[in-house]
């Protein structure tokens, strides 16, 4: 089986790719812009054939907006089926709404919503073609309807809410196919993103712990959930 995960150079994506390699026999395509981060992931995956099942893909996903079709050329031509797709790459700028720079606001909309949508679209030829493909969009509790909202995260949380809605839309549009879409709305996880956005904040879940949940859910969640937005937080109400 084959998994593709974006944003694997650090944080939750890094740990989830590592979890797949150490705990399953999946082949894993791990995407990020940062070769050093992916090299660290390769090192962390050594042993048990891990270094052969982990396939780093250095790619700026924002290029999908200007170079449609390019990602399919970067992935191997004999990649005929992707069983698990995890749209994990994300971008966050924590600032009061009126101080947000338009370019950051636009980037949050691109990376957190538009790119996952375009990646799903580009990968459709290899999704749900040989059995179920489980497509997981990594959302946020901030973008979960009715949750407590945090000042400074208006653009970020709204972009994640769009991603959640996209999950429901695609699930309905492709309900008669073998593509299963779900969105995990995560609470705080102690990663560089969290540390950069909220310096000094402590209390997020360890990324390895969240990776365990995401990894398990990726493998089995499609049996129980379809088109769902699931809050994954023991702290954010
Ligand atoms: N940490 C939390 O508390 C928390 C809570 C709720 C939801 N989330 C969500 O969980 C996901 C992972 O979060 P995290 O905390 O692990 O974030 P992180 O540490 O900032 O990692 C983000 C990843 O996204 C990649 N990325 C960003 N832009 C990219 C692009 N244009 N092309 C390719 N890769 C790109 C980064 O890789 P490069 O920079 O190497 O390209 C990095 O590997 C995100 O979607 C985030 O919004 C996190």
The protein residue whose alpha carbon is closest to atom 1 in ligand 1 is 189
What's the CA gap between 4 and 219, in Å, rounded?
13
User: Mean pLDDT throughout 21-30?
Assistant: 96
Ligand 1 centroid from CA 117, angstroms: 16
Ligand 1 centroid from CA 85, angstroms: 15
For position 47, what pLDDT does the model report?
Answer: 85
Q: Tell me, yes or no, if the pTM score tops 0.95.
A: yes
pLDDT digits (tens, 9 = 90+) for 190-207: 999 999 999 998 888 999
Q: What is the CATH number of the domain that holds 193?
A: 3.40.50.720
Give residue 129's domain range: 2-232
Q: What residues are in contact with ligand 1 under a 6 Å CB criterion?
A: 6-13, 31-34, 37, 60-62, 88-92, 111, 138, 140, 186, 188-189, 191-194, 204
- Ligand 1: residue of 157, 193, 194 to mutate (most ligand atoms within 8 A of CB) is 193
For residue 171, tell me if it sits in a domain: yes
Q: How many structural domains comprise the chain?
A: 1
For residue 79, tell me if it sits in a domain: yes
For residue 140, tell me if it sits in a domain: yes
The answer to whether 114 and 65 are in contact (CB under 8 A) is: yes
What's the CA gap between 237 and 235, in Å, rounded?
6
For residue 43, tell me if it sits in a domain: yes
The protein residue whose alpha carbon is closest to atom 5 in ligand 1 is 188
Ligand 1 atom having least distance to the Cα of 37: 40
Ligand 1 centroid from CA 176, angstroms: 31
Could you tell me how many residues make up the chain?
237
pLDDT digits (tens, 9 = 90+) for 34-58: 999 999 999 999 987 888 999 999 9
Whether 131 has a pLDDT exceeding 80, the answer reads yes
User: Mean pLDDT throughout 25-30?
Assistant: 96
User: Which residues have C-beta within 8 Å of that of residue 224, sequence separation ≥ 6?
Assistant: none
User: Mean pLDDT throughout 13-18?
Assistant: 98
For residue 237, tell me if it sits in a domain: no
SS (H, E, C) 30-70: EEECCHHHHHHHHHHCCCCCHHHHEEEEECCHHHHHCCCCH
């Amino acid at each position: 089986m084959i998994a593709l995960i974006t944003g694997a150079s650090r944080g939750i994506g890094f740990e989830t790719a590592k979890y797949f390699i150490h705990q399953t026999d999946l082949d894993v395509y791990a995407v990020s812009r940062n070769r050093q981060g992916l090299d660290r992931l390769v090192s962390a995956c050594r042993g048990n054939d891990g270094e052969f099942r982990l396939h780093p893909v250095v790619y700026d996903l924002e290029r999908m907006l200007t170079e449609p079709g390019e990602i399919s050329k970067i992935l191997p031509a004999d990649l005929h089926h992707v069983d698990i797709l995890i749209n994990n790459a994300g971008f966050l700028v924590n600032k009061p709404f009126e101080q947000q720079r338009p370019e950051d606001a636009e980037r949050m909309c691109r990376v957190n919503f538009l790119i996952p949508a375009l990646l799903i679209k580009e990968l459709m030829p290899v999704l749900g073609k040989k059995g179920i493909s489980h497509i997981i969009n990594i959302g946020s509790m901030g973008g979960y309807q009715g949750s407590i909202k945090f000042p400074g995260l208006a653009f970020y949380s709204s972009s994640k809410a769009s991603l959640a809605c996209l999950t429901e839309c695609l699930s309905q549009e492709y309900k008669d196919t073998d593509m299963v879409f779900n969105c995990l709305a995560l609470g705080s996880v102690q990663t560089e993103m969290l540390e950069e956005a909220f310096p000094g904040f402590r209390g997020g879940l360890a990324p390895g712990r969240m990776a365990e949940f995401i990894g398990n859910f990726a493998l089995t969640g499609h049996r129980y959930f379809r088109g769902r937005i699931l809050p994954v937080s023991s702290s954010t109400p």
